[in-house]
């Protein structure tokens, strides 16, 4: 048992001072005491918060961040730059990434996530096969690399192997750029069951699944895999990309006469176990039904802005009791504050109002956003995290409040100052399962992870 004493901390029932958190040998919180005796103990100064889950990540895409910002050539009849032109660049890069490259990129990314205050990642992992599209002898090779990166960096992970077998609605054949993603039900369940077996006793690893989208999995495939999954773990998380693009909505209507979220709600038992990533394009009835389902809306505001996806109706959804969480998705930015800030700013720009997602009169927007993203991220990752309480993992971040704009702030004001006024990163210390992985803003792998990442990037750019 070790005990950490925090000057101030956000607990499930609010802010408290002199908080002693006792952590057991497995990294779980064994006791929480407010107004603890500080005599003889070293107090961790600053503000302690539950670490934030980053519920949606495609780790390998970090290598591409910033490469898709040049507009395409001007040609008669050319489509404007969009998600689809960005996807072409992404497919080009991953054509030459080997398992070591993916592990190197993921390690660097996860170190950066920890420094940003994310203590768990939901890895939506679809790069399963070798460069030529053939399966590795161990079909879970690539997933193992990503989990290895998480373990090395010290971040908790919910690994979500992606079910991907088609290129469009109604089972259209996959294209060459997608050959590394493809699995039938048996091949896919090989990966899932081997990961379940390997990590059954792991405190920091959970395994779920992620049907890529209604474009990439037919209804039959979806049913077959979910029923196989239920025989292994009927509570494990299910994530799916759902309505990121208007083209996706149009194609779904043409195929089924229903919009994607409408189709999913009508054809699957969508409940707390589900996380719908980019439920961006919704009509009001879908928004209300999705909120009532208890599923998480997995929002990635910075990536969605970067890709020109559209704006999720967050106000209506949250007013109806909908659960949200955040993810950094393409990793164009790895910055929790940016995700929450742009979630709120998108709504402000649209509604011409302020404090749109504060959750009611006289409430802090920063606090409400932080609480909401903690709850939804925890639910989506299916792990005991997201609150500093007995039984949960001791995943704790500490903000340095000695410099402006956090200086002199207290309670929810700290979160408001961080979300809306900070241009630097105030995350000073990070603990995952009670183990300190970031100290004074640095991670022990900083230099090595950066050097290795640069080497891989140089090679990929030359490829």
Binding region for Zn ion (CB under 5 A): 329
- SS3 for 298-316, per residue? EECHHHHHHCCCCCCCHHH
CB atoms within 10 A of CB 148: 15
Phi-psi category of 225—alpha, beta or left, where left has phi over 0 and alpha has psi -120 to 50? alpha
SS3 193: helix
**Cβ distance 179 to 143 under 8 Å?**
no
Give the residue with the Cβ less far from Zn ion, 109 or 437. Answer: 109
Q: What angle do CA 455, 133, 209 make, to 5 degrees?
A: 90
Which residues are catalytic, by number? 278, 329
Tell me which residue of 430, 429, 422, 431 sits closest to 403, measured CA to CA: 422
Give the residue with the Cβ less far from Zn ion, 126 or 263. Answer: 126
- CB-based burial, 65-101: b 16+ in 10 Å, e otherwise: beebeeeeeeeeeeeeeebeebeeebeebbeebebeb
Of the CA atoms within 13 Å of residue 96, those in its CB half-sphere come to 13
DSSP per-residue codes, 138-158: STTHHHHHHHHHHHHHT-EEE
Tell me which residue of 376, 394, 415, 424 sits closest to 54, measured CA to CA: 376
- CB-based burial, 176-209: b 16+ in 10 Å, e otherwise: eebebbbbebeebbbbbbbbbeebeeeebbbbbb
* Surface-to-core class of residue 227, CB atoms within 10 Å of its CB (0-12 exposed, 13-18 middle, 19+ buried): exposed
- What separation in angstroms does the CA of 29 have from each of 298, 379, 384, 389, 435? 27, 18, 10, 6, 12
CB atoms within 10 A of CB 447: 10
Number of helices (H), then strands (E), in the chain: 14, 17
Taking the CA atoms of the chain, what radius of gyration do you get in angstroms? 22
Distance, in Å, from the CA atom of 298 to the CA atom of 210, rounded to the nearest integer, reads 13
**Cβ distance 174 to 212 under 8 Å?**
no
**Cβ distance 94 to 179 under 8 Å?**
no
């Amino acid at each position: 048992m070790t005990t950490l004493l925090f000057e101030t901390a956000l607990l499930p029932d609010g802010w408290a001072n002199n908080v002693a958190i006792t952590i057991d040998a497995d990294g779980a919180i064994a006791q929480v005491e407010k107004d603890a005796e500080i005599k003889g103990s070293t107090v961790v100064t600053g503000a302690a918060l539950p670490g934030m889950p980053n519920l949606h990540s495609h780790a390998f895409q970090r290598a591409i961040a910033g490469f898709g910002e040049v507009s395409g050539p001007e040609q008669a009849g050319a489509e404007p730059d969009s998600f689809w032109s960005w996807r072409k660049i992404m497919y080009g890069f991953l054509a030459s990434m080997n398992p070591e490259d993916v592990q190197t990129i993921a390690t660097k990314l996860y170190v950066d996530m920890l420094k940003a205050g994310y203590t768990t990642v939901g890895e939506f992992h679809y790069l399963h096969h070798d460069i030529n599209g053939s399966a590795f002898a161990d079909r879970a090779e690539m997933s193992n690399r990503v989990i290895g990166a998480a373990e090395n960096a010290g971040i908790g992970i919910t690994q979500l192997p992606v079910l991907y077998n088609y290129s469009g609605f109604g089972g259209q054949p996959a294209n060459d750029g997608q050959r590394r993603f493809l699995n039938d039900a048996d091949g896919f369940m090989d990966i899932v069951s081997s990961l379940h077996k390997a990590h059954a006793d792991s405190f920091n690893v959970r395994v779920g699944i992620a049907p890529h989208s209604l474009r990439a999995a037919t209804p039959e495939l979806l049913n077959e895999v979910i029923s196989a999954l239920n025989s292994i773990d009927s509570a494990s998380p299910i994530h799916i990309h759902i309505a990121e693009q208007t083209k996706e909505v149009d194609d779904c209507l043409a195929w089924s006469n229903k919009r994607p979220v409408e189709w999913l709600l009508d054809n699957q038992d969508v409940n707390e176990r589900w996380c719908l990533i980019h439920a961006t394009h919704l009509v009001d009835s879908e928004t209300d039904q999705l909120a009532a389902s208890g599923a998480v809306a997995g929002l990635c505001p910075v990536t969605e802005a970067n890709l020109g996806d559209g704006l999720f109706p967050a106000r209506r959804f949250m007013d109806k009791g909908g659960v949200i969480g955040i993810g950094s998705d393409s990793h164009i930015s790895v910055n929790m504050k940016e995700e929450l800030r742009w979630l709120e700013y998108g709504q402000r720009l649209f509604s011409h109002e302020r404090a749109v997602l504060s959750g009611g009169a006289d409430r802090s927007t920063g606090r409400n956003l932080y609480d909401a993203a903690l709850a939804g991220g925890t639910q989506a990752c299916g792990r005991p995290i997201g609150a500093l309480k007995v039984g949960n993992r001791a995943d704790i971040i500490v903000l340095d409040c000695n410099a402006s704009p956090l200086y002199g702030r207290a309670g929810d004001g700290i979160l408001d100052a961080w979300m809306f006024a900070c241009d630097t990163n105030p995350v000073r210390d990070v603990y995952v399962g009670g183990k300190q992985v970031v100290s004074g803003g640095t991670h022990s792998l900083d230099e090595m992870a950066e050097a290795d990442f640069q080497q891989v990037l140089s090679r990929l750019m030359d490829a």
